Amino acid sequence: MLVANVLLVVVSYWLAGLTGMASNIVTKPLRMLIIAVSLYYLFFMTRRRVYYFKGSQSWRVWIFILLNLYVLPFSFSFLTTAEKFANLFPYLVYLNYLTIYLYRNYTAAQLLKLLLRILNVVYSFPLFAYLLTGRGLSEKDIYSETIGGFLNNHYGWTCTVFLATSLDLIRNDRNLSPLHRRFIYVCIPLAFYLLLISGSRSGYVSFAICFLIFVVRNKGTHVVLKALTVLVVSVFVMQLFGDKDSALNKRLDKTQQQRKKGEPRLIAAQRATEVFTNHPVTMLT
């Protein structure tokens, strides 16, 4: 059921993009149904029942719920915020109880490997969605586009998650099946390509950090192989730098323009810091 819940999140994004959000009429009730079935299994199909919001494991969920209830009266639209919180509540219950169940039935190492495998397989879905569009591998920039039901940012963060989990599984999961390992090797080039043409700056930074950690901490790999890996990736990226129409160059140009004009989110953050400094009581709201 955990796989079904995670997969449905990605599939819901995909269907919403294809149908212009019309699919939410179906996917929202379906997500709630799967959550209900999952909770039923956790509560009634397991012999050792641990009721949600009971025990020391649940204090984080209680704090999160209380914080939501506290800020609710100060929200811009009370009814909208209340509706979103009501929709979120079943997921909080499910995640809380699921976490307790998993930690009582698996070791931390087993749980980490399980989650990595699930995320790796589920977040490969957008790769195949892109291939089904028939756009091919000649695209240089898909920024602000919706292709195959996914926005460019969707491709950016899903490819980052896929690549990060792939690096971890290849390096640390000795029990990974040969089939899954081959699947990763086949999909990595496509995921890297989609990440680059997505124009997602957060995706670029996240992958760069993961890649550097992987290369530096991979003590089992000879230093020459590490250098060659970095060199191959660097040459590929430099080629994109040389193409003025590439997503990488366009995003760099936009970043420079935003630095000159002023980044709206940075301006908002500076304004918020000023308000909090002059009126500390507003921090509570």
Residue-wise pLDDT for 134-183, tens only, equals 677 877 778 778 888 888 888 989 999 999 999 889 888 889 999 999 99
pLDDT of residue 285: 57
Region class of 59: left (phi > 0), else alpha (psi between -120 and 50), else beta: alpha
pLDDT of residue 121: 94
For residue 54, pLDDT over 50 is answered with yes
With a CB cutoff of 8 Å and minimum separation 6, the contacts of 123 are: 10, 158, 159, 161, 162, 165
Q: How far apart are the first and last CA of the chain?
A: 37
Residue of 195, 131, 190 lying closest to 161 (CA atoms): 195
Task: Spell out the alpha helix ranges (H) of 106-200.
Answer: 108-122, 125-132, 152-172, 178-198
Which comes out higher in pLDDT, residue 253 or 98? 98
- What Rg do the C-alpha atoms of the chain give, in angstroms? 22
Chain centre to alpha carbon of residue 208: 16
Lowest average pLDDT, out of 21-35, 113-127, 183-197, 268-282, goes to 268-282
Residue 215: CB atoms within 10 A of its CB come to 16
At 62, the amino acid letter reads W
pTM for this entry:
0.76
At 27, the amino acid letter reads T
pLDDT of residue 220: 64
- In the structure, what pLDDT confidence band is assigned to residue 52 with cuts at 50, 70 and 90? very low
- Under a CB-based contact definition with an 8 Å cutoff, are residues 198 and 153 in contact? yes
